Each structure stands twice: as structure tokens, then as C-alpha cells.
Structure 1
Amino acid sequence: MAGDKDTLLSMGFDAARVSWALKATGNSGLQPAMDHILAHEGEAVPDLGAVTEQASSRPSDAMDVDEDDTDALRAAGINVDTAEAKSIKCSLCGKVFKNTALANYHAEKSGHDQFEESTEEVKPLTEEERAQRLEELRQKMAIKRAAKAKEQEKEDKANEAIRRKTGKDLNKIKEDLKLKEAQKEAEAKKREKLEDAKARAAIKAQIEADKKARAEKAAREKALREGRPIVDAPSASPSAKPAAAAQAGVAGKDYKDTRLQIRMSTGGQYTTTLPSDSPLRAVAEFVAAQTLDVHVDTVTFTQTFPRKQFSAAEMSKSLRELGLTPSAVLIATP
């Protein structure tokens, strides 16, 4: 009916959904159409060409009166030939419907399957009843929409909680990664700084060694020019070396400790101070404690200036006896 359609449209329902409800309920009234809309609110509107009116098998069966029933009614004094059916009545609940479509809709909703014809006339709704019915429908719709909105709000809160937790986890992962990167960068800078310091120390020591070597060379050349004997020269008399060693030994007695700078032939250097009476093996044990690449029994030491490689027999001699006091630079070879 055009009036029912206009009423449903004025309530804010979609036109296609209203047409679907009216056709599906056989234009049986506002209430069935509204119930249909509420029952199928979340469904997509189908093609109206494929929508058929509700079946009328159960009420129609109730309307068919066989001959035995007619005879029984006549025997009871009821004139079935003149009685005019004005409505359809549900035998289970007593509700009266003005047409088959409404009875079918009732059967669909309630599950009742026993109907009969009735001479009781269903009066049309008054304007007041119609307004009351519309208000009831609006209230049902509002309650259903409020429940749906509450459920949607609950779902949105759950999704927001998940999103926040995921965001916190991602932020923590990012912070951890940044911290690890910062630590790696700090360690790299520290290693670089140590390597630079070692390189500068090595260069400085080499410069000092070169300076000392040049001074020694100049002293030898000057001694040659002046005709004086050279203590460490091969042509020097055998008595010169014992004299120099004795002089060094006398000077070494004045130093209780010996400071050593040990350069590794494989790279790196160490500095330590040992008692001057310590054997050279103590230096080997010190270096072996600093790195796994060195073994006490296999490491060898070489003095930079004057150039000298210490033998295995000299490992038991003291630093004082070897003339390494008060300080010396040794090159360790694993």
C-alpha cells in the first residue's frame, strides 16, 4: 500500500528495503513490513524480481472445509452456505487476521499451524491506534539500534585496546633497536679511539727509536772521525764490551723496578712495570696472560735498540742482567 510505504519512508528506512518488506509480506500491513525490516536489517536487499510472497499453505488448509465437516456443521444447525468468512483465526492463540497474508506471517513468526475461518470482522486501525502502533515500532527500532550501537562501541573499544597494545609493543621494539644501535656505535667509537691511541703511541715510540738510532749513528761516526774506539763496533777490543756491560750493570743497580713497553709483532702493545730482578720469563708470562695468541714457552723477545734477540737460555736471566733497566722496548713474537 502506498500509505504504508510512505509511512515507512518517513521513518527513515531505505526505499529498496521498504519495497522488499512490502512485497515479501504481500502488502499485508505496516506491522508485518516493519517486523520484516527489523528481522532482516543486517542483510543485503535481494533482487525484488526473485522475491515471492509468503506461502499460504497452512492457513489455506485451515480454510478448506471438506464435505464431512460441512455435514457436521449443518447437523449442528449452522448454516454454512450463508455464513461469510470475514477473517482468519488462529486456533492456538485466538488472534484474528483480516487476510491470508497476515495469517501466514503470524504462522511464520509464531510457529502456529492451526487456523480457521471466522466471521469476526477485523476493524481497521484508527488514527490513534495507528499512531500508537507507529510509536511502538519506533521504540522497538530505537531499542534495537541502541543495542547495536552499544555492541559496536564495545567492539571499537576492544579494537582500540588491541591497537594501543600493538603500538606500545612496536614502540618498545623500536626503542630497544635504537638502544642497541647506540651501544654498538659507542663501542665502535671506543675501539676506534683505542686503536688511534695505540697507533699514535706506536708512531711516537718509533720516532723515539729512530731518533735514538740516529743519535747513536752520529756518535759512532763522530768517534770514527776523532779516532776514538766504538764500544759496540765489531772492531772494538774484547775488553771494551765487558767494560760497557759492567758500566751498564752498575747503572742498573740504581733501579729497583723496570718499565717495559712490549709491542706485539702481530699488532697491539702492552705496558707493564716489573721488579728489575724478575727474569725475562716473567715478561713472557705477563704477555701470555694478556692474549691467547702467546704461549710462555714459545714466545721470543727482540730489543729494538740496540738490536738484539734474546735466546731461550736468557729467559731465566733477570731484567737487570740483560741491561733492560730502567726501561726498555721489546718486540714479542708468538
Structure 2
Amino acid sequence: MAGDRDTLLSMGFDPARVEWALKATGNRGLQPAMDHILENESKPVPSMDNVSESSTSASAMDVDDEDAEALESLGLAATNAAEAKSIKCSECGKIFKNTALANFHAEKSGHDQFEESTEEIKPLTEEEKKERLAELRAKMDEKRARKAIDDAAEQKANESLRRKAGKDMAKVKEDLQAKEAIKEAQQKKRDKIEEAKARAAVKAQIEADKKARAEKAAREKALREGRPIEDPAASTSTSTAAAPTPAASTSGVAGKDFKETRLQIRMSTGGQPYTTTLPSDSPLSAVAEFLAAQTLTVSVETVTFAQHFPRKTFSSADSSKSLKELGLTPSAVLIATP
């Protein structure tokens, strides 16, 4: 019916769904068509050729009794020829305008006792029609509002899950970057140590080559001049024996009672020197332990110490001797070789 179609279109329904609903309900009125639209709003609209008109009894299952009466009074529901002024349900006392509405009530309530009535149902005024139509629209608005609230809650929950997943991924990424940075720093430190060792080895090799060339030149000169060739090792031992012992050379110092010894330790590989003050009775191994605690390149078992002035290299046998016995009090400069 044109009136039902215009009413549904004015309520904002899609024209295709309106046509589908009117045809599927056999143009039996506004309420059946509206129920059809609401129940099938999530389904796609089929081709109109495949839509068959449903029976009056099928439509009756979707229409509320009171709404059906209101729609009938609005002139929007299909009516059959009334056999009396009204039909009354003997079980609940409701009065219906025609047999179609009585059938709706019977199928929904299960009541089967009806009788003719002389009571006449007065048609609704225009004001009452507007009120009923407003009620129907209010019901639709309420249903849409509930659906909007549910959709908003679902969207909020999904957004919360998405944000949590994003934070978890960001934390994992930060942890990976931090681990990579630590590994890179450790690798750079190891590379730096290896590079320092390589430079020290090259420097030592250069010194050894220089010494070898000097010894060779000395031998060749001695041969040219007819002098006997001196053994460098023997001359070194002789000079060492001739040199005064540290204890003897520093007897004046050792004679004084210095309780502490200030040391400056320089690495043979270069870098910043280390300074410390130890009790004069501390063994030389305490210096090795101090240096090992300051850098990763020094091992207590392998590190050796030497002095430039007077020139002396301390052996492993000296590690148990005190700083005072080694003549390092009250202060000294040591060269450490890892």
C-alpha cells in the first residue's frame, strides 16, 4: 500500500528493504512490514522475483496483539469482511475488529474460544493515530540506541585490545634494541682490547728487531776492528750484577719507616695511568689485584711489572715480597704488561 510505503520511507528505511517487507508480508499493514525489516536488517535484500507473499497466519506470529489492534484502527493492517461488529476472545476478553486480527491473537496466545460481539470498536482520531505512530517510532529509536551502545562498547573493547597489543609489541622491540646495544658495546670493547694487544705486539716486535739489528751491527764492528765479540746476555748479567741492588741504592729511604706507598701504574699498551696508595707491607701481588679490578685486560696470574728508573723487571718470585722490600717506598712508577 502506498500509505505504508511512504510511512516506512519517511522513517528512514531503505527503499529496497521497504519493497521486500511489503511484498513478503502480503501488504498486510505497517507493523508486519516494520517487523520484517527489523528482523532481517542484517540479511541481504533478495531479488523481488524470489519473494513470495506470506500467509496471514505467518504474519500474525510477528505482530503483537495490541499493536495489531492499533494498526488496524489506523487503517494500516489488512482486514477481512467483518462478520459482526467485533469478535471477542472468550478466554481473555480482548475484542478484535475482524477475524484476521482474531486469528493473529489465536496463533500467538493459543486461545481458541471466540464469540461474536455487538460491541463496536471506535476508530482512532487523528491525534490518537499520531500518538500510536510516535510510539512505534520511539520503539525503533530505542532499539537503534541500544544497538549503538552495544556497538560502541564492542568498539571500545576492540580498541583496548589493539592498544594493549601495540604496547606489548613496542616493549618487545625496545628490549630487543637494548640487548642489541649491549652486545654491540661489548663487541666494541673486545675489538678495542684486541687492537691494543695487536699494537703492543707490533711495538714489541719492532723493539726486538731494533735490538737485533744493533747487536748485529756491534758484532760486525767488533769483527772489523779485531776485537772479541761480547755475548749480549753475559754483558747484561754482568751489568746487572754490577748495579747496586734497590735495597742498597735506597738504603737511606728504606731506613725510614714509611707506612704507606703511593704508586702510579702505567700500562705498556698505553692509556690512562692508575694511581693507588697501599700499605708498605703489602705484597706486589696486591698491586696486581688492584690493577685487575680496574680493567678487563689484566690477569693477576700473568701480569708483570717493571721500573724504568732504576730499570728493573720484577719476576713472579717478587710477587710475595712487600713493597718496602722491593724498594718502592714511599712512591714509585710501575709499568704493567698484561
Deviation at 1:159, TM superposition (A): 0.6
Answer yes or no: is 1:225 the counterpart of 2:224.
Answer: yes
Tell whether the 8 Å contact from 2:24 to 2:51 is kept in structure 1 after alignment.
no
Answer yes or no: is 1:184 the counterpart of 2:216.
Answer: no
In structure 2, the CA distance between the partners of 1:214 and 1:193, relative to structure 1 (3 Å rule), is same
Q: 1:272 aligns with which of 282, 304, 326?
A: 304
Answer yes or no: is 1:195 the counterpart of 2:227.
Answer: no
Tell whether the 8 Å contact from 1:25 to 1:33 is kept in structure 2 after alignment.
yes
Deviation at 1:99, TM superposition (A): 4.5
Q: Give secondary structure in 1 for the equivalent of 2:114.
A: strand
Partner of 1:114: 112
The one-character-per-residue Cα deviations of 1:222-281 (angstroms, maximum 9, x if unpaired) are: 111112211228xxxxxx95x76444344484489xx998xxxxxx9964238846459x
Structure 1 Cα separation of the partners of residues 164 and 267 of structure 2? 60
Partner of 2:64: none
Q: Give secondary structure in 1 for the equivalent of 2:12.
A: coil
Partner of 2:6: 6
Identity of aligned residues (%): 61
Deviation at 1:328, TM superposition (A): 11
Structure 2 Cα separation of the partners of residues 215 and 162 of structure 1? 79
**Matched ranges for 1:147-296 at <5 A:** 147-232=146-231, 241=234, 245-251=237-243, 253-254=245-246, 271-273=303-305, 276=314, 278-279=316-317
Answer yes or no: is 1:15 the counterpart of 2:7.
Answer: no
Deviation at 1:122, TM superposition (A): 4.5
Tell whether the 8 Å contact from 1:20 to 1:51 is kept in structure 2 after alignment.
no
Partner of 2:130: 131
Tell whether the 8 Å contact from 2:105 to 2:111 is kept in structure 1 after alignment.
no
The AA in structure 2 aligned to 1:203 is: V
Structure 2 Cα separation of the partners of residues 328 and 164 of structure 1? 57
Tell whether the 8 Å contact from 1:54 to 1:105 is kept in structure 2 after alignment.
no
Q: Give secondary structure in 1 for the equivalent of 2:304.
A: strand
Deviation at 1:144, TM superposition (A): 0.7
**Matched ranges for 1:71-86 at <5 A:** 84-86=83-85
Tell whether the 8 Å contact from 2:87 to 2:102 is kept in structure 1 after alignment.
yes
Q: Give secondary structure in 2 for the equivalent of 1:94.
A: coil
Structure 1 Cα separation of the partners of residues 146 and 165 of structure 2? 29
Q: Give secondary structure in 1 for the equivalent of 2:305.
A: strand
Deviation at 1:329, TM superposition (A): 9.1
- The CA RMSD measured in Å over matched residues stands at 3.9
Deviation at 1:154, TM superposition (A): 0.6
Tell whether the 8 Å contact from 1:88 to 1:98 is kept in structure 2 after alignment.
yes
Tell whether the 8 Å contact from 2:90 to 2:115 is kept in structure 1 after alignment.
no
The AA in structure 2 aligned to 1:248 is: T
Tell whether the 8 Å contact from 1:28 to 1:101 is kept in structure 2 after alignment.
no
Unaligned runs of 5+ in 2: 61-81, 249-265, 269-296, 307-312, 320-333
Structure 2 Cα separation of the partners of residues 150 and 167 of structure 1? 25
Tell whether the 8 Å contact from 1:26 to 1:101 is kept in structure 2 after alignment.
no
Tell whether the 8 Å contact from 1:22 to 1:33 is kept in structure 2 after alignment.
yes
The AA in structure 2 aligned to 1:5 is: R
The one-character-per-residue Cα deviations of 1:156-180 (angstroms, maximum 9, x if unpaired) are: 1101100110010011111111111
The one-character-per-residue Cα deviations of 1:76-133 (angstroms, maximum 9, x if unpaired) are: xxxxxxx93355444443334445554454455x433425353555554432222111
Name which of structure 1's ranges 10-19 and 122-131 shifts more when overlaid on structure 2: 122-131
Deviation at 1:195, TM superposition (A): 1.4
Structure 1 Cα separation of the partners of residues 53 and 175 of structure 2? 64
Tell whether the 8 Å contact from 1:32 to 1:102 is kept in structure 2 after alignment.
no
Tell whether the 8 Å contact from 2:303 to 2:337 is kept in structure 1 after alignment.
no
Structure 1 Cα separation of the partners of residues 53 and 128 of structure 2? 30
The AA in structure 2 aligned to 1:26 is: G
Count of residue pairs brought into register by the alignment? 248
Structure 1 Cα separation of the partners of residues 31 and 199 of structure 2? 97
TM-score normalised by the chain length of structure 2: 0.60
Q: Give secondary structure in 2 for the equivalent of 1:56.
A: helix
